[in-house]
A and B are shown apart, each in its own frame.
Chain A
Amino acid sequence: MSRPLHTQVEQAVTADGRVVETSSDDYGHARTLGVDHDWFKRAVFYEVLVRAFADSNRDGTGDLRGLTEKLDYIKWLGVDCLWLPPFYDSPLRDGGYDIRDFRTVLPEFGTVDDFVVLLDEAHKRGIRVITDLVMNHTSDSHVWFEESRRNPDGPYGDFYVWSDDDTRYSDARIIFVDTEQSNWTYDPVRGQFFWHRFFSHQPDLNYDNPAVTDAMIDVLRFWLDIGIDGFRLDAVPYLFEREGTNCENLPETHAFLKRCRKVMEDEYPGRVLLAEANQWPADVVEYYGDPEVGGDECQMAFHFPLMPRIFMAVRRENRFPISEILAQTPPIPSGCQWGIFLRNHDELTLEMVSDEERDYMYTEYAKDPRMKANIGIRRRLAPLLDNDRNQLELFTALLLSLPGSPVLYYGDEIGMGDNIWAGDRDGVRSPMQWTPDRNAGFSASDPGRLYLPIIMDALYGYQAVNVEAQLNSTTSLLHWNRRMIEIRKRHHAFGLGEYRELGGTNPTVLAYMRTHGDDPATSDTVLCVNNMSRFPQPVELDLSAWQGGVPHELTGGVQFPAIGELPYLLTLPGHGFYWFAITPAGLDQKP
């Protein structure tokens, strides 16, 4: 069966101008996993671009069926939840974040039926799936917007934010400073300006219109009925506009999120909302909602400033960039969890560092100006770290042990490279490298048809860096990553535990204790010690609160000397790290 590419799926419109929305009853429903209110706290997430992972129909573009075929690999790696950036029908002027139809799959990725199969097969393997949902805006080719332009008095006339001039909400900043001059754009069809916080082809929905909030909640229900495990809500701070404010994080936005969460709790318990709010943690915690009830908005939110500060700490060879940002991170409600990451499909975001720090990050990590985009750096993890295995391991150990659920980015588990010559943010979106064969095993198409070229350079090219070769070598980065994920999952302190930084006299060493549970017989305590420096370092840690406990190193199981009254002395190789489980005094299992 051949499908037309990049053509809009026709949507019927009734005589009174209403769009006929498809119903979830028109599709099969995937099997669901049992209700578990904590799964996302223990889970390892894996962000995969459908386009980039595997091509099942030789058209040069990855698709849902291709991804379904690779689920065994994802299961083997130890991933608990897939995060798929948008796969909805879209003109693709913003990587699919410009949605043309919320209830249709982008034809080149497949169909809603294909998605049902993916979801069912994933659930069969115990893997959950969440996807991006762009709440704030649609594509300007969405039928709602077309109706809104054409018929200001029709049912969609008030679906977007229209104005006779471009002067309202002047306190709102312009986010895409590289391309946009204003948050208003004139529409010659309607003869008015429309409001957009992002690109001018992405008009913002008007959340003051109850018909819009109802329509968007029905979009949630559509995918939840099919069986999806949650949503990452894209660009969530911008839903409402109010004069005299910066139009971010308004109370009305929080009220709407509470309503979304209530629908999920009542009708689809155990499914999650993840907020994408690129803000300071003290502001982001608002998106968890009321701490008195354990949180009643999103269960998860990304911790954006942590990531650049991990890079900065290692570069500066001192722990304070990380210590500072975690000290400034307020506690979160009991039912909530941070999402943390080293890299994702966007550039390394530098909005959350000060100007001085931003200049510094540019200088250190983006030596070529093409590596800079908007306010960030577009590089994958391995090239950012000069392909240094020690640093790759240290960074991953931090990702897997700092407070929050880790989100891996596809390809980073094998140390894939990037292509800084690709446009926009495509440099980090090249095809997954499966084998040393044609098209890296990603697609059987004619190489010229690939949506982006395979990485070919000598260091990161697919003949050197691919899944097949790394599966065959137990010392590979891939096997190392899998082992670390497995260790993380053996200790619930990583996902559920409290975080307590231990300080220590050596500023280049970041040490912290993760503890879960109060009962010594069942509690889990993990000590993590990380050397931010490239040189060997000693550190003396005050572990007197755990006096008598016995540390067991987690990768090898070796028992270390018991914790005594004096400071605990450890020595670490350059960029080295340790994970220890602490067996409380009296519980050591001597023969």
Chain B
Amino acid sequence: MSFVEELVPHLPEWLGRQRWFGAKGREVSAVDVMSATSLTDTEPLLDLLVLAVSFADGGPAQHYQLLLGRRQEAPGELEHVTIGRVDGLCAYDALWDHTASAWLLEAVRAGRTIGPVRFVPEAGATLAPPGFGRVMGAEQSNTSVVFGERTIMKLFRRLNPGVNPDLELHRALRSVGSNEVAALQGAVEGALGGEPTTLAMLQDFAGNSADGWAMALASVRDLFAEADLRADEVGGDFAGEAARIGETVAVVHAELAAALGTVERDPAELAAACSARLDAAARDAPILLPYVDAVRAAYDAVAGLPEPILAHRVHGDLHLGQLLRTTHGWLILDFEGEPSAPLRERSRPDSPMRDIAAMLRSFDYAAFFQLLSSDPGAFADDRTGSSPLRWHAKEWAARNRDAFCDGYAARAGLDPRRHRPVLRAFELDKAVYEVVYETRSRPGWVPIPLSSIKQLTAGATSGSAAG
């Protein structure tokens, strides 16, 4: 383990520079290598390391995986991912190494097991032909490598013990032949603290696609540029796509229910959880205080519902950015659930209304994000309601929220707008979370969720046109 010992001193500084490192700004007290699995014995040497990062503030340790490559000399294209020299070799983050990425793909294809690390192809998997992969934009919690425009491998950087819900749900959706997600083709699984843990997953790559957020913003901009046309009259109208998104979500909900079953949940318990989050949120974001009573009343309305609430596994963190428009329709991505919630909670069946409410919030966000970009003073109190752009933003959000519900209802046979108390409570739950999030990271955006809370608690708003 000499190379590991030499590596450790490099890690705190190197980790701090990585985009996916989730504890920037916190003082790292120690980085320990919990396990190191040697994958190859010829150059480039590949080792899969699991790191435990401890913090000076005494908070719980975080776990990260590092696929380490070592060569005598790193070629120029690996310079930017070099960690340092250890044991006479140059050590680097191996995802960018073409030989290493090609090796990973073949390991999955062959279904290899090396120590605790298992490379698992799905039954009947179709993978890209042998060849190296290219690293795509690095995300906050994972890094993706694309092979031959056919297969994408998502490597989870930060590890939590247990099977990642993203893998679990994609596997379930594959079992029912879903066309609404990028088909799962394989996974890399290891162990953390004795529990089987997902390290990476491989899916079909959706080439030539664009995410729903970018497409929605193009539509909002198109409407904003019109002086006198209505949302249903402009060329960039998004309602057709919004309806198709609604259909797609409905189909995936049916598939999840079919694959993993349904349960009933107690409305009072769901309402209590919302209520607890509200209390915590009001402490973190006192701007919520004037609304707490009205919001709680909405939760109480759910608590008092006579019937239990149908629940099954849901996406859990649905928004326009998780939807991909391909040349064959919409795909839903990233079933990891709300990343800040504990894994156990993310894996619980929840009401499908949770995802629907999240999508309705996302349509609001698209409209009002573009509004704030175009007119930073749009929410100034003295201009409330007077700005033509603000009127357009409300109009766009209302039209597309309705179209989404229409599409959902057409496929599900259940119109979400007919379950107003639950939908309203979940929208509020989401908006309350958003206020806290924006207060911390983007104070200028707080008016977006806050104005929605205002609308939703004003009493007279309809479930379909909250904007």
Contact = CB atoms under 8 A, between A and B. Distances in A.
B134 to A, nearest CB: 6
A507 B208 contact: no
B330 to A, nearest CB: 11
A506 B214 contact: yes
B209 A503 contact: yes
A170 interface: no
A324 B327 contact: yes
A318 B240 contact: no
A535 B225 contact: yes
A162 to B, nearest CB: 46
Given A316-B235, A320-B327, A507-B214, A327 B221 contact: no
A324 B221 contact: no
B236 A327 contact: no
A507 B327 contact: no
A507 B236 contact: no
B208 A533 contact: no
Contacts of A323: 208, 327
A334 interface: no
Contacts of B158: none
**Residue among B77, B222, B237 with max Cβ neighbours from chain A (10 Å):** B222
Q: Classify the interface of chain B: helix, strand, loop or mixed.
A: mixed
**Residue among A320, A356, A363 with max Cβ neighbours from chain B (10 Å):** A320
B298 to A, nearest CB: 36
A565 interface: yes
A317 B236 contact: yes
A34 B55 CA distance: 80
A323 B237 CA distance: 18
A503 B328 CA distance: 14
Interface in B197-235: 207-211, 214-215, 218-219, 221-222, 225, 233, 235
**Residue among B134, B222, B233, B235 with max Cβ neighbours from chain A (10 Å):** B235
A507 B325 contact: yes
A491 B54 CA distance: 60
A278 interface: no
A364 B235 contact: yes
B327 A327 contact: yes
Interface in A286-327: 314-320, 323-324, 326-327
B235 A508 contact: no
Interface in B63-77: 77
B227 to A, nearest CB: 14
Contacts of B134: 544
Interface in A518-577: 533-535, 544, 565
Nearest to A511: B208
Nearest to A574: B225
Nearest to B221: A535
A503 B214 contact: no
Interface in A325-351: 326-328
Contacts of A328: 327
B412 to A, nearest CB: 20
A437 interface: no
A507 B210 contact: yes
Contact of A508 (B209, B218, B225, B237): B218
Contact of B218 (A327, A363, A364, A533): A533
A394 B222 CA distance: 18
Contacts of A507: 210, 214-215, 218, 325
B48 to A, nearest CB: 25
Interface string A355-379: 0100000011000000000000000
Interface string A493-505: 0000000011111
A32 B63 CA distance: 77
Interface in A426-453: none
A505 B217 CA distance: 13
Interface residues of A, number: 28
A505 B327 contact: no
A321 to B, nearest CB: 10
> Interface range on chain B: under 10, 10 to 19, 20 to 34, or 35 or more?
20 to 34
Given A503-B208, A507-B214, A315 B235 contact: yes
A562 to B, nearest CB: 15
B144 to A, nearest CB: 13
Given A508-B218, A534-B225, A501 B236 contact: no
Contacts of B214: 505-507
Contacts of A319: 210
Given A317-B235, A318-B218, A364-B235, A506 B210 contact: yes
Contacts of B219: 317
A3 B219 CA distance: 60
A298 B289 CA distance: 74
A359 to B, nearest CB: 11
Given A501-B208, A503-B208, A327 B328 contact: yes
Contacts of B236: 315-318
A41 B56 CA distance: 69
A565 B221 CA distance: 31
Nearest to B219: A317
Interface string B272-286: 000000000000000
Contacts of A356: 240
A316 B216 CA distance: 11
Nearest to B206: A503
B248 to A, nearest CB: 15
A328 B208 CA distance: 13
Contacts of B221: 533, 535
Nearest to B136: A542
Nearest to A365: B235
B419 to A, nearest CB: 28
B210 A327 contact: no
Contacts of B225: 534-535
A327 B215 contact: no
Contact of B207 (A324, A503, A533): A503
Contacts of A324: 327-328
A364 B77 CA distance: 50
**Residue among B214, B225, B236, B327 with max Cβ neighbours from chain A (10 Å):** B327
Contacts of A505: 210-211, 214
The 8 closest A-B pairs by CB, nearest first: A507-B210, A327-B327, A315-B235, A503-B208, A507-B215, A324-B327, A317-B236, A323-B327
Given A501-B208, A533-B221, 5 more contacts: A318-B215, A327-B328, A364-B235, A507-B215, A507-B325
Interface of B: 77, 134, 207-211, 214-215, 218-219, 221-222, 225, 233, 235-237, 240, 325, 327-328
21 contacts: A314-B235, A315-B236, A316-B235, A316-B236, A317-B235, A318-B218, A319-B210, A323-B208, A323-B327, A324-B327, A326-B327, A327-B328, A356-B240, A503-B210, A507-B210, A533-B218, A533-B221, A533-B222, A534-B225, A535-B225, A565-B77
